[in-house]
């Protein structure tokens, strides 16, 4: 096959999932905030489907990993559930079955020749730490997270070389404290800003613990995975540009800068200070953030963000919100994924690549998630028994061609991971939109490779497409 877009031979071709979205709740010692939310409000989830079974990875991990190998993946990111691994969060004792399970999963990935990238937090805070301390509002929980991280490094660091502190920490801020799409569904801008700070502090403290462990000495590295939504102004008008600049600072740079540069953008600090919602911090904490930056960056890219200047006075009735400084701009003629309500704009992946090159020290980075969620994919199942998801292949080709251009121009990108290997449970949306290279029949738990799975196998084999 003629390869138009060629990538390095050691490029990561992989996919990402998470513990809470794939494993099911079998033998878990504790409940996460999502487990609790489903137990108390199952009707909030699409078709009432919760995380109890998910994709049954807890029981099927050997077959599932074999399927990932069959479609050519050389690397896969998943997460260790805090609620599965730990027996006592405060004493730091571990659950015997949790340790057994994660050891078995890591060993199976390695046996199949797949590099495991292990993430420590994927929205799955233990609910008892929310009920007792207020979750990420509390710096006590920051330190309990570090204790959990240390246990992970100690138990699995001999085999896992690539670690991630958080997946999409901004989603915790927005979902739990601003826009009510994750439990506890608060609208509290002041708490949101403190949580934003505490998550940055937790990441830096976990990085410090990692670098003090044997993992770093044995060639391991640690990063963070951020969902980046590049902010574009409606026009070149100064008010539109200022609105987009605030959105860029709040949505992207408030995690990017501390993770990569060791400090928060002064512009966002000053604005939040003037607005009276700046977080509580200490010089000692800011020093920890400054001295414990990431070794590599993971970027989840799905959609851009478009901003315009405020057209109506900000409604103060809910207290402070980021929308005090911008309005959302719905660009006429934009391409949409109608199932997810997200704009399709592949060029942003190139803009991210150039931003990493020019403004973030060209840190080693990879696309840690990219994908297209589609509802009702069964209608595309053909006579041979597999789903013909050409729309997903076209989506990946467009994004990869722009990523290739960024790499050709010097951006230090080492991999591309799709969301997700096998159709997985997705929070309130449950199984509404499917993303996988491998289809899941919820009723039977049968898993079949889609056309995109056969396509990615050829991409990995040919180092491009």
Q: What is the pLDDT of residues 214-224, one digit of tens each?
A: 998 899 999 99
* Residue 125 within any structural domain of the chain: yes
Cα–Cα distance between 196 and 458 in angstroms, integer? 41
Whether 304 and 233 have beta carbons less than 8 Å apart is answered as no
272 Cβ contact list (under 8 Å, min separation 6): 193, 278, 279
Average pLDDT score over residue span 343-365:
98
Cα–Cα distance between 53 and 35 in angstroms, integer? 11
pLDDT digits (tens, 9 = 90+) for 101-159: 999 999 999 999 999 999 999 999 999 999 999 999 999 999 999 999 999 999 999 99
* Residue 5 within any structural domain of the chain: no
Cα–Cα distance between 348 and 127 in angstroms, integer? 36
Q: Report the catalytic residues.
A: 168, 369
* Residue 2 within any structural domain of the chain: no
Question: In 3D, which of 442, 418, 421, 420 has the Cα closest to residue 431?
Answer: 442
Q: What percent of the chain has pLDDT over 90?
A: 98
**CATH at residue 36:** 3.20.20.80
* Residue 3 within any structural domain of the chain: no
Question: In 3D, which of 172, 146, 162, 290 has the Cα closest to residue 227?
Answer: 172
Range of the domain at 43: 12-462
pLDDT digits (tens, 9 = 90+) for 299-342: 999 999 999 999 999 998 989 999 999 999 999 999 999 999 99
Which band of pLDDT confidence, cut at 50, 70 and 90, is reported for residue 29? confident
Tell me the pTM.
0.98
Residue position matching structure tokens 């414990």: 292
* Residue 4 within any structural domain of the chain: no
pLDDT digits (tens, 9 = 90+) for 163-219: 999 999 999 999 999 999 999 999 999 999 999 999 999 999 999 999 999 998 899
Which band of pLDDT confidence, cut at 50, 70 and 90, is reported for residue 58? very high
Judged on CB neighbours under 10 Å (0-12, 13-18, 19+), 414 is middle
* Residue 67 within any structural domain of the chain: yes
pLDDT at 173: 98
Alpha-carbon distances of 368 from 174, 241, 365, 415, rounded to whole Å: 20, 29, 9, 8
Mean pLDDT of the chain: 97
- Between β-strands 75-79 and 12-16, what pairing exists: parallel, antiparallel or unpaired? parallel
CA 389 to chain centroid, in Å, comes to 23
At residue 447, φ and ψ (nearest 5 deg) are: -120, 125
pLDDT at 1: 63
Q: In the chain, how many domains are there?
A: 1
* Residue 297 within any structural domain of the chain: yes
* Residue 6 within any structural domain of the chain: no
């Amino acid at each position: 096959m003629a390869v138009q877009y060629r990538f390095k031979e050691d490029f990561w071709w992989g996919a990402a999932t998470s513990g809470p979205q794939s494993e099911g709740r079998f033998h878990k010692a504790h409940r996460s905030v999502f487990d609790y939310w489903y137990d108390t409000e199952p009707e909030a989830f699409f078709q009432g489907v919760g995380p109890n079974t998910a994709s049954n990875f807890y029981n099927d991990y050997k077959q599932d990993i074999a399927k990932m190998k069959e479609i050519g993946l050389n690397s896969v990111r998943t997460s260790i559930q805090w609620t599965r691994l730990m027996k006592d969060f405060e004493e730091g004792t571990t659950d015997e079955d949790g340790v057994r399970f994660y050891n078995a999963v890591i060993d199976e990935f390695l046996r199949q020749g797949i590099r495991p990238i292990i993430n420590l937090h994927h929205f799955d805070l233990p609910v008892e730490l929310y009920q007792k301390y207020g979750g990420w509002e509390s710096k006590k929980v920051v330190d309990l997270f570090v204790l959990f991280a240390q246990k992970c490094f100690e138990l699995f660091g001999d085999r896992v070389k690539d670690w991630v502190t958080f997946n999409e920490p901004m989603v915790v801020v927005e979902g739990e404290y601003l826009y009510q799409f994750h439990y506890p569904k608060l609208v509290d801008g002041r708490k949101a800003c403190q949580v934003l700070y505490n998550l940055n502090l937790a990441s830096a403290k976990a990085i410090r613990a990692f670098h003090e462990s044997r993992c770093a000495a044995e060639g391991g590295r640690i990063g963070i995975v951020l969902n980046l939504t590049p902010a574009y102004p409606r026009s070149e008008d100064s008010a539109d540009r200022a609105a987009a600049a605030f959105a860029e600072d709040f949505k992207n740079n408030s995690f990017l800068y501390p993770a990569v540069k060791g400090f928060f953008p002064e512009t966002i600090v000053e604005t939040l200070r003037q607005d009276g919602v700046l977080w509580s911090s200490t010089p000692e904490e800011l020093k920890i953030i400054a001295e414990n930056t990431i070794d590599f960056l993971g970027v989840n890219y799905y959609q851009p963000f478009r901003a315009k200047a405020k057209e109506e006075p900000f409604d103060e009735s809910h207290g402070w919100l980021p929308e005090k400084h911008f309005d959302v701009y719905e660009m006429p003629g934009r391409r949409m994924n109608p199932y997810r309500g997200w704009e399709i704009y592949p060029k942003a992946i190139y803009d991210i690549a150039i931003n990493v090159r020019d403004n973030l020290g060209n840190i080693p980075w990879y696309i840690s998630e990219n994908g297209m969620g589609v509802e009702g994919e069964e209608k595309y199942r053909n006579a041979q028994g597999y789903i013909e998801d050409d729309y997903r292949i076209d989506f990946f080709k467009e994004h990869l061609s722009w990523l290739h251009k960024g790499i050709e121009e010097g951006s230090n990108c080492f991999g591309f991971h799709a969301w997700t290997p096998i159709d997985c449970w997705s929070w309130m949306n449950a199984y509404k939109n499917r993303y996988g290279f491998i289809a899941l029949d919820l009723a039977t738990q049968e898993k079949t490779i889609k056309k995109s799975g056969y396509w990615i196998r050829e991409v990995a084999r040919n180092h491009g497409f």
